[in-house]
Structure 1
Amino acid sequence: MNDFDRIKWLKKEKNAIILAHNYQRGDVQDAADFVGDSFGLSQKAVSSGADVIVFCGVDFMAESAAVLNPGKTVLMPELSAQCPMAGMITPESLKLEKEKHPGAAVICYVNTSAAVKAQSDVCCTSANAIKVVNSMEADEIIFVPDRNLALYVAANTEKKIIPWKGYCPTHHLILPGDILLEKEEHPDALVLVHPECRPEVVALADKVLSTSGMLKYAAQSSSKEFIIGTEVGLLHRLNRENPDKKFIPATRYAVCPNMKMNTLGSIIRALERNEHVIKVPEDIRKRAKLALDRMLEVGRGD
């Protein structure tokens, strides 16, 4: 029995579903029941009839699934798969920031811990950040933890955005020179970049999109070549869904080592041993769920 067949057998035995982020290894994406971005995975975690959710992503994603599904078992195959951006803010530091701006609403990117979500008014993803910001009654918004996404939102809203100084190390590796070099090699290619990229990279893009937005745009566009400014894992799905089109990574170094920790072997181990179970303290879970529920109510932005 190969790894894929073993996973299928274990899923049936455990009534489990496997969710994988778009940045996962290609074979992990192929083994998953659903592959998507943070918003889509959050929705799937809620709507699934499975008893067990195996989350192939990073820590905050598995936590969000546990927050939204208190009656289900959420397994994280690799506990070391931590999001460095999420580690750039703590509930204590956010509390201090809130004290500096008592009239401001707090919007936290989903790339945060459940404890930070519990301190926030509403969550957002890169797909719906602008829509969430514009849905708020407050004119002043503390936006955590991604400064680049905050600056992108600030350029597309009349609200006053107070950005945190966090960032995604992988997206920060993409430089303007990378885009310009690839554009020189592929002059007809459209440039699609993620809003977690540096502002000077965003300025060079034809379209600024979430991973789900990139997938949708590439499928519908009449263009045949695209330079992709995000984590290289997305190219697996782009190529699979658009075999007649060419996708060029802005840089082949845009690899998130934490996203790549999950393997077929660790999925099998998680299902066989029921590890690692992700639990969130109930008081934090309830408050974090409010912020996530509000995000789901606002809906997708692209």
Structure 2
Amino acid sequence: MTTVQALERTAHLHERVRHFIPAVEWPVFAEDIDAILALKRQRRAVILAHNYQTPEIYHCVADLVGDSLALARLAVETEAEVIVLAGVHFMAETAKLLNPQKTVLIPDLKAGCSLAESITADDVRGLRRRHPGVPIVTYVNTSAAVKAESDICCTSGNARKVVEALGVPRVIMLPDEYLARNIAAETDVEIITWNGRCEVHERFTAGDVRELRAAHPGVVVLAHPECPPDVVTEADFSGSTAAMSDYVGTRKPKSVALLTECSMSDNIAVSNPEVDFVRPCNLCPHMKRITLKNIRQALEENRHEVTIDPLIAGRARLAVERMLAI
């Protein structure tokens, strides 16, 4: 396979991302993309990519894309033999939980998450002792071990629905403090929080929103619910990455700012070229550990296969399946 042949075979893909990757830079990406497409066919593999992946991954090699809830649902539906998760480790674990007989690969084992690292299974057991009988709703941004100690999982897109579906006056919601506080403001259910925070979203401030509006009159501000509550209050809309994408695609604001990870704006902009994206983004260092090169290596070398202790997997799977059933 030569670079010239790879360029010819991937030219149609460059058209999708030409506003973000200049033609002069495309040869750097084309060979890996061409190899990945061939490897997927050889191995009967699919690539699931989170909305925070860079455009050359999201638009050129991914088969299924979305937020964490969408990826969880899509993982169940795929008939592929191999799943490569272009995202962070907890997402790959969730895919493995839902596909125990399939090979699930994470291109970089260090692609972690500050939320997942903020709580342990021992912490969850401690919460149960302090609040006996109170259901524990666990954000999917957690390890399988933490999910196994929980009653049900949720995502930022379905958190309120999950909380209210339990039909109880009080729940524990972990680990994201800001997500829990933002959901508490929308429901009559009392929510006990944990002190975890997303290192990307916690950096946004209400002052940032006011500065955006001053610098860009008329800009529509969309905030992820992992942002601090005062940021969500200042914003025009708050929702999951899927909800933000739907907002832009449906309402077509003239100018919009997404208070979330950097690549989100780039990926939505591909489908909405008429919208002006103001980009006050913060970078997720964990998501950016996933690259075309290590996706290719994952498929070539079966690197790095995700495994979960069967004693943990069964209980964790139940928590995820309860969420998907709602």
Report the TM range for the smaller structure's normalisation.
Answer: over 0.9
Structure 2 partner of 1:106 = 136
Unaligned runs of 5+ in 2: 1-5, 7-30
Unaligned runs of 5+ in 1: none
Matches within 5 A, 1:1-302: 1=6, 2-30=31-59, 31-249=61-279, 251-252=280-281, 254-298=282-326
The Cα offsets for residues 35-72 of structure 1, whole Å up to 9 and x where unpaired, read as 21001101111100100000011110000001110010
What one-letter code is carried by the residue in structure 2 that aligns with 1:5?
D
Q: Secondary structure at the match of 2:273?
A: coil
Shift of 1:138: 2.5
Shift of 1:236: 1.5
Bigger Rg, which one: 2
The Cα offsets for residues 88-134 of structure 1, whole Å up to 9 and x where unpaired, read as 00000110011100020000000000010011111000000000000
Cα RMSD of the aligned pairs, angstroms, is 0.9
1:148–1:197 CA contact under 8 A, matched in 2:
yes
2:54–2:267 CA contact under 8 A, matched in 1:
no
Using the aligned pairs only, state the percent identity. Answer: 44
Structure 1 length-normalised TM: 0.96
Q: How many angstroms apart in 1 are the aligned matches of 2:269 and 2:253? A: 14
Shift of 1:222: 4.3
What one-letter code is carried by the residue in structure 2 that aligns with 1:181?
E
Please list every run of at least 4 consecutive aligned residues from structure 1 whose deviation after the TM superposition is greater than 2 angstroms: none
Q: How many angstroms apart in 1 are the aligned matches of 2:257 and 2:40? A: 36
What one-letter code is carried by the residue in structure 2 that aligns with 1:297?
A
Q: How many angstroms apart in 2 are the aligned matches of 1:26 and 1:257? A: 16
1:23–1:234 CA contact under 8 A, matched in 2:
yes
2:46–2:80 CA contact under 8 A, matched in 1:
yes
1:103–1:138 CA contact under 8 A, matched in 2:
no
What one-letter code is carried by the residue in structure 2 that aligns with 1:79?
L
The Cα offsets for residues 181-238 of structure 1, whole Å up to 9 and x where unpaired, read as 1111212111100000011111101101100000001111142111111111101211
Structure 2 length-normalised TM: 0.89
